Structure 1
Amino acid sequence: MESTAFDASERRIWAGRAKAYAGSFGKLCAHPVPRLLDAARVRDGVRVLDVGTGTGAVAAAACARGARVTGVDAEISMVELAAQAVPSAGIHLAVLPQLPFSDGLFDAVTGNFVLNHVGRPRAALAELRRVVRPGGWIAVTIWSVPTAAGQALLGRAVEAAGAVRPSHIPALAAEDDFPRTEAGLAELLTSAGLKDVVCESMQWDHHTEAEEWWGGAAEGVGAIGQTVVSQPDHTLGEIKRHFDLLSAEFAGPSGRLALPHAALLAHARR
């Protein structure tokens, strides 16, 4: 299956950014890991595939439960970092929706926010279904829409500075998109042939330093980071000025930010 313009953009966005992600937004994305593993029934002896393993947070937690863990990621710097962090897991380079595994090889498959980064989410889920055994579990997370206030902070700063998303970062094609709601994600899993689908919302406050949160964007992490770093110096300075003003809304007495976030967790059986 040919990659989409969205897929090609994702490869450029994430190239070489594993360490920058680990030091910023990666800490946020690790929050749902225990619930994700519970939803996929990951325990001692289970053969689990973690797709889009990133820096290996899910793989490490699955290994700690005694699971037999394989992880894949489309970005080589992520693969290298995860392999160092989780030496007991097998970490490989692979790009959805084509995984280098035989049908039904795994008891469980997890994907922590990976569906946000693929050009054909339905095809990606169909591939996850292919590699899990009959009766095995698939569990995934995505960011929900509308976004929570903390997740919207950087976007608000970009908008307040009059900056725009650069044209080389395409949106997901309309025919491949889906509602980022409980019903929308549940329907996506059902359309991939999965059964016993359950989807729930999660809300939490991510606690971080303002400069750490800004640092992820300033190093070009994700689409928001690429939007920030593509701006001319004057506009970049304006984004930072607005970020400093807006982030005060979330600062506690110590100055640390408490950023509200919301996501969806869905699980289903093959």
Structure 2
Amino acid sequence: MPVPTTAFDESERLIWAGRGPAYADSFAKLCAHPVPRLLDAAGVGPGVRVLDVGTGSGTVAAAACARGATVTAVDAEPTMVELAGRTAPEADVRLAVLPELPFADAEFDAVVANFVLNHVGRPQDTLAELRRVVRPGGRLALTIWAAPPAAGQALIGRAIQAAGAVRPPHLPAGLAAEDDFRRDESGLTGLLRAARLREAECGTLRWDHLATPGEWWSGPAGGVAFGGQMVCGQTPQVQAEIKRHFDTLSAEFATENGLLALPHAALLARARH
């Protein structure tokens, strides 16, 4: 039976609609940082049949192709699918919406999901679907943003809060209580085990993402992700106030060469079917 769509899922579709190019020009480089370790965790190498779920601009798919894997990639947003097709021309890139995938049971040796579980309304149902399409003994590896967020990740949110921005009505407060989980190592490991995945383990990745102030601001200014929708959903006056606070707060992360060194933290988990 089809899994009912939640209000969170519907909001995510609206948030990301048409945002592929803006994402590629802003946050895609940030999200690319864990890719080598993500592929290592999934055992991706020559001849491995791998599914890249929520491929975004195709960075993971392209890296898996470079390792000699046979790659299928999916995303729910058409502009992302178009981008990924250009980034990873050797991959089979398709439009598909979690938590239902157009693949047979046990079709893949490995499944990877880079910062995808943050964007689904029912994470447990999503993991059950990923488990379904990976063969027995096959591997699953995923990343999510840790909570509370690291200082660099919190910068835009701090500017939004300091400006007194009001949440637009199309943005949900978050997952339903019964669907949520702790965004730490034990919380994510528990979620994987609850999905009947074996040998589940999780670690934390920490790094400083380097970007110019203009590059980092271009994401929210372009409406990318939740923070971008918060910015673009304000009046011009409030948007200007958010930018003023962003410029002020950015000084905390400024380097001598004019870049921002933005601390980030993500969880990297792996498990087997």
Same fold (TM over 0.5): yes
For residue 44 of structure 1, give the secondary structure of its aligned residue in structure 2. coil
Match of 2:24 in 1: 22
Q: Aligned to 1:37, which of 23, 36, 39? A: 39
CA distance in 2, matches of 1:93, 1:21: 17
Instruction: Tell me the alpha carbon deviations over residues 7-63 of structure 1, each in whole angstroms, 9 at most, x when there is no partner.
Output: 000001101110100010111000000000000000000000000000000000000
Residue in 2 that maps onto 1:94: 96
How big is each residue's C-alpha offset from its partner over 1:69-126, in whole Å with a ceiling of 9 and x where there is no partner? 0000000100011011111000000011100000000000000000000000000000
Match of 1:152 among 145, 151, 154: 154
TM-score w.r.t. the length of structure 1 is 0.99
- Cα-to-partner distance string for 1:134-167 (whole Å, 9 max, x where unaligned): 0000000000001000000000000111113223
Matches within 5 A, 1:162-241: 162-170=164-172, 171-241=174-244
In the alignment, the residues of structure 1 paired with residue 87 and residue 199 of structure 2 have an alpha-carbon distance, to the nearest angstrom, of: 34
User: How far apart in 2 are the matches of 1:258 and 1:172?
Assistant: 31
Determine whether 1:81 maps to 2:83: yes
Classify the secondary structure of the residue corresponding to 1:159: helix
Q: For 1:228 and 1:172, locate their aligned partners in 2 and report how far apart those are by CA, in whole Å.
A: 21
Alignment equivalent of 1:112, drawn from 92, 114, 120: 114
Secondary structure class of the residue paired with 2:170: coil
3-state SS, counterpart of residue 152 of structure 2: coil
Structure 2 residue 259 is the aligned partner of structure 1 residue 260: no
Q: CA deviation at 1:265?
A: 0.3
For residues 19 and 98 of structure 2, what CA distance do their matches in structure 1 show?
19
Q: How far is 1:223 from its partner?
A: 0.5
**Cα distance in 2 between the residues matched to 1:186 and 1:267:** 9
Deviation of the 1:174 alpha carbon:
1.3
The percent of aligned pairs where both chains have the same amino acid is 67
Q: Secondary structure at the match of 1:152?
A: helix
Find the residue that maps to 1:267 and give its secondary structure.
strand
For 1:85 and 1:113, locate their aligned partners in 2 and report how far apart those are by CA, in whole Å.
18
The SS at the match of 1:150 is helix
Please state how far the C-alpha of 1:254 moved relative to its aligned partner: 1.3
Q: State the SS of the aligned residue for 2:153.
A: coil
User: Counterparts of 1:15 and 1:108 in 2: how far apart (Å)?
Assistant: 28
Tell me the amino acid that sits aligned with residue 175 of structure 2.
L
Computed over aligned residues only, the root mean square deviation of the Cα atoms, in angstroms, reads 0.5
Q: Which runs of 5+ in 2 are unaligned?
A: none
Q: Distance in 2 between matches of 1:173 and 1:24?
A: 29
Q: Provide the secondary structure at the position in 2 that maps to 1:98.
A: coil
- Distance in 2 (CA, whole Å) between partners of 1:186 and 1:249 is 33
Where 1:88 maps in the other structure, the secondary structure is coil
Name the count of aligned residue pairs: 270
CA distance in structure 2 between the partners assigned to 1:49 and 1:5 by the alignment: 26
Q: Distance in 2 between matches of 1:21 and 1:174?
A: 29
Specify every segment of 5 or more residues in structure 1 that has no aligned partner in the other structure, as ranges: none
Q: Which amino acid is the alignment partner of residue 217 of structure 2? A: W
